Chain A
Amino acid sequence: MNLAYTQTFWYFYIAIMLLFVMGAYYIIASFNLIRVLIGLELLIKAVTLLSILTGYLTHNEGLAQALVITLIVIEVVIMVVAGGIVVSIYRNNKTLDTRKLKELKG
C-alpha cells in the first residue's frame, strides 16, 4: 500500500497538540460558561486543522474539505444553541459562574 509519512509536517502536529492542550486547559480552569464555549471552539479548531492536514498528506483534500464543511455547520449550530442556553441560564440565575449554579431542577 502507498503510505504517506508525517515527518515533514511534525511542526504542524506539535502546534495542533499545543492548541488542543490550550483549549482543554481553558475548559478545565474556567468557571465562566462563555469561556467554556470559547475553550470548546479552540478544541474544534485543532481538530479542523488536523483533518485538513491528514487530507493533504493522504491526497484526499476533497474528502477532508467535505468533512470539515460538515464539522463547521455542526459547530455553528452547537454555538447558537449553547449561546441560547447560556443567555437562558443568565436570565434565571443572574450569573454565569458554574460554582454558583447548584440549584438546577431535576
Chain B
Amino acid sequence: MALNLILLALLLVAGIWTVLTTRLVRSVVGLALVSAVVSILIFRLNSPLAAAFELSVCAGLISVIFVTTISFTQRLTPERLEERRKERLGKYWYLPVILIIAGILLIAFKPILDFPLPRVPSEQDTRNIIWHMRHVDLLGQILVILAGVFGVVILFKEPKK
C-alpha cells in the first residue's frame, strides 16, 4: 500500500507539473512521466502486458508525436513567453485549489467509494482473449490504423500547383 501511495502521489505531482508548466516541451515530458508512473501502477495491478504497451507506446511513441508536432510550430519570443507565463498564472491558480477541495471532499465521503463489483472470473490469458474471444476488436483496430494512415497521408499531401 505504501509504495502504491507514493506512486499515486508521484502521478498527481507529474500531472500538476504537466498542466502548470509554461513550455510545451516540458509539458510533454511531464505527460511521459505520467505514462511511466501509470505503467508501473498497471504492472503492480497484475497486468504486465498492458504495462509494457503503456510504457512503450504512450510514454515513448506519443511523446515523439507531440515533440514532432511542436517542432513544426514556431518558438515563442522571450517577451511573449513572459507575457504567456503571467497569463497562465492568472488562469491556472484555481487548479491546485480545485484539486485540494476535490481531494478533501472525496476523502470525507469515502464510503461512496465502496461499491460492489460483480466478480465473474473469466479467461485469464490476454493473448487468448485478443485472438479468440475479441477478434472483432482486432478487425476494428486494423481499420482504425488504416484510417489513421490515410488521414495522415491526406493531411500531409502537398497541394498540386
A residues apposed to B, CB below 8 Å: 1-7, 10-15, 17-19, 21-23, 25-26, 29, 32, 34-35, 37-39, 41-42, 45, 48-49, 52-66, 68-70, 72-81, 83-88, 90, 94, 96
Contact = CB atoms under 8 A, between A and B. Distances in A.
Given A38-B28, A59-B119, A12 B42 contact: no
> Which 8 interchain pairs have the tightest Cβ spacing?
A77-B148, A84-B155, A7-B114, A15-B8, A3-B116, A83-B69, A65-B50, A68-B50
Interface of B: 1, 4-5, 8, 11-12, 15-16, 18-19, 24, 27-28, 31, 34-35, 38, 41-42, 45-47, 49-50, 53-54, 57-58, 61-62, 65-66, 68-70, 72-74, 91-92, 94-95, 98-99, 102-103, 106-107, 110, 113-126, 128-130, 133-134, 137, 140-141, 144-145, 147-148, 151-152, 155-156
A6 B107 CA distance: 14
Which of B38, B49, B62 has the most chain A CB atoms inside 10 A of its CB?
B62
A14 B8 CA distance: 10
